[in-house]
Amino acid sequence: MDAERTRVTVDIFGHQYRLTGHSSADHIRRVAEMVDDNMNRLARQFPRLDMPRIAVLTAVHMTDEVIRLRQETAKLRQEETKRLKAEQELAEARAELERLRAERERMQQEMAAERQKAQAEAAQRRREADQRLAAAEADWRRMYEEREAELRQEAEAREAQFEQQAAELRARAEAAERETGEQRKLTEEAERIAGELRNRLRQLEQEASGRASKLRELQDRIERLTRDRDEQKERGMRLMERIRELEAAASEAADWRARAEALEEERREADARAAEWAARFESEAGRARAEADALREKLEAIEGQLAQAKDGAESRIAELQEAYDRLNVEHVRLQDEYAKLQNEFNEWIELIESNG
């Protein structure tokens, strides 16, 4: 053990001392020079003090420096604790940044999935609307064509029946007109004969008995002609009634045309409803696009927030890194000073113990 110790003779406050320690000779000399400088400085400040008191005062001053160094060491440890805390905060900030990045990626994936889902739903709704529209259009077209075919057949049948009845009525009207002409001729003839009879009545008054039978025949003939005329009037009335029936049939045909026009109006309404369904589908597609735009804006806002958080985190990381670097430099410097002072203090204690 003694072979490993260093022995050096030094001069402290005008006295020779042989110091022994585990440090190098240069270190022991620096310690002795520091003690000598402190004692000489105190001796100049307090010239009336003797050597023991100067030595005690020097020990007090150097102990005060050691205490201050220990306080600095405590501060250094506190700074080290702060540095470790800053490192922890830096690690937490980096972890938070990574979490935010992962959250952003997750939200981007969710937004992409939602966008794909919205697009798929919009496409499905579009296909369903197209199918419903096509089915409705096919149903309305089929119903319209069936109803139009029925109305066309019924109208053609009624038109043929009407044409047939009109032909019959025209034939009957022509026959009645011919019969009316004959009746007119007969009436004229009867009137002519009646005139002749009236003219000759005066002549035949003397021949009444002989001509009575002929007069009765003529009267019977006049009565028959009158009955024929009444029958012709009745037939004319029946003809007028038939004409009114034909007019009613024509009115009914007009009603059928009105019903056909109503069906055409229904078809136009169906087209309007189909257009309304198409507009509703476009509105739903617009709402889906608006939702997709809102989701995209939300994603952009989240990305902006993430960018701000990233900038803040990077700024905070830079500040913490800068503070960490300063603390690390200060820590190294204080460690070096503390090691030097600790060695000097140990050497000084050994020096005092060896000289005691």
Domain that holds residue 67: 6-89
Contact criterion met (CB below 8 Å) for 24 and 340 = no
Q: Is the per-residue pLDDT at 210 higher than 80?
A: no
Mean pLDDT, residues 274-283 taken together: 69
In a domain, 172, yes or no: no
Number of domain units in the chain: 1
344 vs 66, residue with greater confidence: 66
Residue 344's pLDDT band, with cuts at 50, 70 and 90, is low
The pLDDT score that the predictor gives to residue 76 is 87
The pLDDT score that the predictor gives to residue 87 is 85
In a domain, 99, yes or no: no
117 vs 333, residue with greater confidence: 117
Name the pTM for this structure: 0.33
Q: Is the per-residue pLDDT at 217 higher than 90?
A: no
What angle is formed at CA 237 by the lines to CA 247 and CA 157, rounded to 5 degrees?
A: 30
Task: Give the integer Cα–Cα distance in Å for 298 and 262.
Answer: 52
In a domain, 72, yes or no: yes
Nearest Cα to Cα of residue 72 among 269, 337, 344:
337
In a domain, 41, yes or no: yes
Mean pLDDT, residues 2-14 taken together: 84
The pLDDT score that the predictor gives to residue 165 is 73
- The structure tokens 């008995």 sit at 209
Residue 149's pLDDT band, with cuts at 50, 70 and 90, is confident
User: What is the chain's mean pLDDT, rounded?
Assistant: 77
The pLDDT score that the predictor gives to residue 319 is 73
In a domain, 83, yes or no: yes
The alpha carbon torsion through 119, 121, 126, 130 (nearest 10 deg) reads: 150
The pLDDT score that the predictor gives to residue 29 is 93
Contact criterion met (CB below 8 Å) for 187 and 229 = yes
Question: In whole angstroms, what separates CA 104 from the centre of its chain?
Answer: 20
The pLDDT score that the predictor gives to residue 26 is 93
> What per-residue string of b and e applies to 291-317 under the rule 16 or more CB within 10 Å gives b?
ebeebeeebeebeeebeebeeebeeeb
Task: Give the integer Cα–Cα distance in Å for 349 and 66.
Answer: 12
In a domain, 214, yes or no: no
The pLDDT score that the predictor gives to residue 307 is 66
Minimum mean pLDDT range among 35-49, 156-170, 312-326: 312-326
> Long-range contact list for 343-350, CB < 8 A, 24+ apart?
343/23, 343/27, 344/27, 344/30, 344/31, 344/34, 345/62, 345/66, 346/21, 346/23, 347/19, 347/21, 347/23, 347/27, 347/28, 347/31, 348/31, 348/34, 348/35, 348/62, 350/19, 350/20, 350/21
Nearest Cα to Cα of residue 327 among 30, 43, 77, 21:
77
| Most confident residue range from 16-30, 90-104, 135-149, 194-208 | 16-30
In a domain, 119, yes or no: no
In a domain, 11, yes or no: yes
Task: Give the integer Cα–Cα distance in Å for 107 and 112.
Answer: 8
Residue 68's pLDDT band, with cuts at 50, 70 and 90, is very high
Q: Is the per-residue pLDDT at 222 higher than 70?
A: no
Nearest Cα to Cα of residue 352 among 44, 62, 73, 64:
62
**pLDDT tens for each residue of 18-64:** 988 888 999 999 999 999 999 999 999 999 999 999 999 999 998 99
Measured between its terminal Cα atoms, the distance across the chain in Å is: 21
The rounded percent of the chain whose pLDDT value lies above 90 is 14
Contact criterion met (CB below 8 Å) for 320 and 89 = yes
